Structure 1
């Protein structure tokens, strides 16, 4: 992998988006964290796209262990998305109707879970309970590594790759506290030290696939640890936030929190003080819905939190 590919991965890890509303990469990279785990992205049984112009859902089945089917299905859905995006301009020209462009479905997705920060200056207030901990890396080479390595090996090599890159572009200099890379380098060094791993003994993920032994349980076949506790097996949707998919905005919110690894943090201030149990009234207030609605969707999508 070249440096530009690794930099693109770093931007994915910090949630940078290529649009006018996104914060600059420089500001976001100060919060860069190592990953603690990696999981398969294509473990559902289909990819979907809702076309708002045609008011029609297009879908194709996928199997996580069938690469040919997976790639063909994604190519079909992305073809439909491309056609829709081209129609957006036509609809505006003809009728003045405004439709949002839709991004294609990731072709080489791998889910990664971020580590918690050890630095108190960015680890206070609501930041740790509301930030996304699950991110998607969309990179062909990383995906192919995830087809071979198990989560433990992948995580070690992935973190080594990012650490080597950070150290390289810092020039090995002693950085000032306000430098963009000061905190990230500390986070990565501590991640290896706290795990009892000599960073110099770990091969970087960027070193190549040659000699990489295939695991019986590779990352791309691995589910998130609490997946069994969550009832729904969500399909991969090109426009997941569209109201077409959900019976209510509350359901959409809960599913989004689950998929982004934020649900536990979101409910943390809705617990009874002396009992490890959710205060449904507080949760309903936070979700801006009735007690009955909050309990219904939590029970439907994340019942383990109500146990």
Structure 2
């Protein structure tokens, strides 16, 4: 990976998109965090796309550990997405109907979870429901690393890669508190210290993996520990927020919170004061639904929250 590739990875880590109007990229990079874990993105063995114009669901099954079927399935669905996006223009020209364009699915996805911040205590990513803690990296080299390394090795080598890149950008200068990279560098250094690792002894991912033995549990084939608690693996969907997929908006919201690593933070202020249990009435109020509906979908999608 070259510096340009790593910069794109940094953009992904901070959640930057071309439509990010609220914050500049510079401000977002100030909140850059290391990753805490890495896991597989294609474990569902099924990819789907709902075409709103044709009112049709397209899908393909694959084996997550079979690269040929995985790539063929994704390329088929991305072909359907491309066709749909072209139809959007045609529909607008013919009738003025407006349909949302849909991004293609990543071919080289790796799911990573961000670590907690040591500097922004009021906005820790694992407690702030407005900040997703899950990112999907999409780079062929990183994916191939994920086929070889386990989560622990991938995580520390990935963080070392970003840390080296950040320090390279500083040019060896001593940074002031207001400098863009001041906080990120501290976050990365503290991550290594808090995990008991000497960052100088760790190889960055960019040093290559040649000659390294493939792990028995590579990242690409491993589920995140929090996802394991849910007992459900959702199919990979190109437009996951479309109402077509869910029986109600409440269910859609809960699944979105789960997939973005935000469900624990969302229910945090719905707990009883003196007991570590969810107050369903408070949760229902927050979800804007009945107590019965809130409990039904929590049991269905995140029952571990009721077992605490």
TM-score (norm 2): 0.96
1:161 corresponds in structure 2 to 161
Is residue 51–residue 57 contact of structure 1 (8 Å, CA) maintained in 2?
yes
1:123 shift after superposition: 2.1
2:98 corresponds in structure 1 to 98
Distance in structure 1 (CA, Å) of the matches to 2:154 and 2:232: 27
Distance in structure 1 (CA, Å) of the matches to 2:24 and 2:107: 25
SS of corresponding position for 2:92: helix
2:121 corresponds in structure 1 to 123
1:227 shift after superposition: 2.7
2:180 corresponds in structure 1 to 180
User: 1:13–1:175: structure 2 CA closer, same or farther, 3 Å change rule?
Assistant: same
Distance in structure 1 (CA, Å) of the matches to 2:228 and 2:194: 29
1:24 corresponds in structure 2 to 24
Is residue 280–residue 295 contact of structure 2 (8 Å, CA) maintained in 1?
yes
- Structure 2 matches for 1:19-58, cutoff 5 A? 19=19, 21=21, 23-58=23-58
**1:198-239 CA deviation, whole Å, 9 max, x = no partner?**
111111001123223211110001101133321321001000
Is residue 108–residue 140 contact of structure 1 (8 Å, CA) maintained in 2?
yes
1:140 corresponds in structure 2 to 140
1:300 corresponds in structure 2 to 300
Is residue 16–residue 22 contact of structure 1 (8 Å, CA) maintained in 2?
no
1:252 shift after superposition: 0.5
Distance in structure 1 (CA, Å) of the matches to 2:170 and 2:247: 49
SS of corresponding position for 1:129: coil
User: 1:36–1:102: structure 2 CA closer, same or farther, 3 Å change rule?
Assistant: same
SS of corresponding position for 1:302: helix
Distance in structure 2 (CA, Å) of the matches to 1:226 and 1:196: 23
Q: CA RMSD in A?
A: 1.2
**1:155-209 CA deviation, whole Å, 9 max, x = no partner?**
1100000000000001121111011100000000111112121111111001123
1:24 shift after superposition: 2.1
1:63 corresponds in structure 2 to 63
Is residue 117–residue 124 contact of structure 2 (8 Å, CA) maintained in 1?
no
2:86 corresponds in structure 1 to 86
**1:55-96 CA deviation, whole Å, 9 max, x = no partner?**
000000121100000000000000000000001010011111
Distance in structure 2 (CA, Å) of the matches to 1:211 and 1:244: 47
Is residue 39–residue 222 contact of structure 1 (8 Å, CA) maintained in 2?
yes
1:234 corresponds in structure 2 to 234
Could you tell which deviates more after superposition, 156-165 or 170-179? 170-179
1:20 shift after superposition: 5.5
Distance in structure 1 (CA, Å) of the matches to 2:203 and 2:228: 32
SS of corresponding position for 2:292: helix
Distance in structure 2 (CA, Å) of the matches to 1:229 and 1:153: 23
SS of corresponding position for 2:283: helix
1:12 shift after superposition: 0.6
Number of residue pairs aligned between Structure 1 and Structure 2: 305
Is residue 111–residue 136 contact of structure 1 (8 Å, CA) maintained in 2?
yes
Distance in structure 2 (CA, Å) of the matches to 1:53 and 1:36: 40
Is residue 116–residue 124 contact of structure 2 (8 Å, CA) maintained in 1?
no
Is residue 129–residue 268 contact of structure 1 (8 Å, CA) maintained in 2?
no
Which structure 1 segments of 5+ residues have no match?
Answer: none
Distance in structure 2 (CA, Å) of the matches to 1:183 and 1:26: 12
2:249 corresponds in structure 1 to 249
